[in-house]
Amino acid sequence: MNIPLGDYLKLLRGYLRNERGRVALLALLIILGIFFEIANPQLVRLFIDEAQADADYARLVGLAATFVGLAMVRQIMAVGAAVLGESVGWTATNALRGDLAAHVLGLDMAFHNSTSPGALNERIDGDVTNLATFFTQMVIKVIGNGLLMIGVLIAVARVDARVGLAIGAFALITIAVLVRVRTWGIPYQVANRARSAEFAGFIGERLSGTEDIRALGAVNHTMWQLDTLLRAWYPHNWRSGMVWLVTFFVTVLMFAVGITVALWVGSSLWQAGLISIGTVYLIFSYTEMLRRPVNEIRQQVEDLQRASASITRVRDLFALKPAINDDQARPPGPSVPSAPTVAFCNVTFAYEDDAPVLHDVSFELPGGATLGLLGRTGSGKTTVARLLTRLYEPKLGDILLAGDSMRHLPLTVLRQRVGLVTQDVQLFNASVRENVTLFDDRISDDAIMGGLSGLELGEWLTRLPDGLETRLKSGGAGISAGEAQLLAFARMFLRAPGLVILDEASSRLDPATERLLDVATARLLQNRTGIIIAHRLATVQRCDYILILDHGRVLEFGRRLDLALNPASNFYSLLRADLHEVLA
């Protein structure tokens, strides 16, 4: 596998564009450091030759002091370049992380259902971390070490062209071999990174399910899976490590040959009386000086292998495009009434290549009305909610909102006008304010307090140690399911969508909290179109219309009162029999 140079340059241009000033300063520090590094052996040669010629003591002291001064300046520049390089590298990679995260959040739910959170974390953070040195130190140091090698070769060639030619041949052969090894090792790095992501995904899933794993006695099976995964990962990690060893041994071998050639040429010229003993030291010192750039290039070859593997995976992730987009939207987008009509027109839908979940579903809900959606588990109720929020797209048919296809409405507008509350409320490790507003700092505290008070959460808020600034734990730990559900309702109050979908929002609540939620539901659905997905018949008594699904097909649709009074209707039979378990 060979990554085109354009991919490297595209990343560099894109994420270092705003860092040009600091990158230029970093390059200057490195170049000046190289100049001082090449100058120091010249001072030592001069010191040796003048000492051999019995030069003045003050002259020798001056040369030594100059040598020490230049060495100190070079070290200061090296420290400054390292600090600046880390800063620029992390600034660039953080920007890349942000772009990757935003891209992943825009991908279809089919992608997220097939990719574990741990694997995504490894791709967004792990792969990008491997690029941290690529953005600055790798590129600039490769250039810097290249300049250092060129400077050394020029300096040696000025002493003797034959020595310069010998060392130059050594440098070119070494670089060619290392580049070849780099290309050979990339596939192993890609495979190793893929296994690493798989491992991260496995660990993330199992840790999040620790309670169930322990309670159901699945610890031994989980450990067996972990052992299997590690055994599968080992060969890829071993091959990746072997690439490093081969690169290391190739570097050592090439360097030993180069030193041997340099010493042989230098000693031959000195014995012939063509150069001084100081020049012999200079040749040896410059050849030895190549050790650091060659070793760093060897390390950078390994880093480049990781970077190439990571660039491949980052590029592949960016290449994924959501099937649900704004291609058919009508800019700037049609306006949506505060209580829009909702219509399903012969909608058929299936997840991936599975059997259809919905079959030719059609119904129309007037604006401002409330629909009670009933059906057995697996009948397609939640799928209807997902289609209305355009998390998925119908395979056949269309969904109309306010008489127009939802495809004509920009996604950002749609998600503002359609609100979904599920029974599983996602709370973040953030403050109450941030959880309620979903990190929208444009919403005032007065609006937040008004929404919470209207849901009878005012007293709960006063009990919190820091009020709105109290931090909640991820997953809702520390608060009850009812409080979490009411916080989700508060989010809807603040967003004020025209269409509200409640997907079994009260299924896990105790009767007292459910009555409180009923009051909140009535307020939330006032002057809005609503869809209530429920298992229990009591939940839909406020609804204007009833839709019953059975195996993805419309079993019954009509006004609730009409169906309740019609002995031939399925809804009438359910009410008469009071068979709540039929819907479970």
How far lies 508's CA from each of 212, 332, 421, 425, in Å?
Answer: 18, 41, 13, 11
Q: What is the rounded CA–CA span in Å between residue 530 and residue 340?
A: 10
Q: How far is the first Cα of the chain from the last one, in angstroms, to the nearest whole number? A: 53
pLDDT score of 366: 94
Q: What is the rounded CA–CA span in Å between residue 381 and residue 358?
A: 9
Strand order in the sheet with 404-405: 358-365, 342-349, 396-401, 404-405
Q: Hey, what are 377's tokens?
A: 């588990």
Classify burial at 496, counting beta carbons within 10 Å of its beta carbon; exposed 0-12, middle 13-18, buried 19 or more.
middle
pLDDT score of 546: 93
Residues of the chain where predicted confidence (pLDDT) is lower than 70: 1-9, 12, 133-141, 178-179, 181-183, 185-186, 295, 297-306, 331-337, 474-478, 505-514, 578-584
Q: What is the CATH class of 342-583? A: alpha beta
pLDDT score of 580: 43
Strand order in the sheet with 418-422: 418-422, 499-503, 529-533, 370-375, 545-550, 553-559
Q: What is the rounded CA–CA span in Å between residue 516 and residue 531?
A: 19
- DSSP, collapsed to helix, strand or coil, labels residue 142 as helix
- Cα three-residue angle 538-542-544, rounded to 5 degrees: 120
Q: Are strands 418-422 and 499-503 parallel, antiparallel or unpaired?
A: parallel
Please check whether residue 517 is in contact with residue 480, taking contact to mean a CB–CB distance below 8 angstroms. no
Please check whether residue 117 is in contact with residue 124, taking contact to mean a CB–CB distance below 8 angstroms. no
Q: What is the rounded CA–CA span in Å between residue 545 and residue 370?
A: 6
Please check whether residue 491 is in contact with residue 512, taking contact to mean a CB–CB distance below 8 angstroms. no
> Which CATH superfamily, name and number, covers 5-319?
ABC transporter type 1, transmembrane domain (1.20.1560.10)
The residue type of 34 is I
pLDDT score of 58: 84
pLDDT score of 1: 47
* Residue ranges matching CATH 1.20.1560.10 in the chain: 5-319
* Residue ranges matching CATH 3.40.50.300 in the chain: 342-583
Give 261-298 pLDDT, tens digit per residue: 777 777 777 777 777 777 777 777 777 777 777 767 66
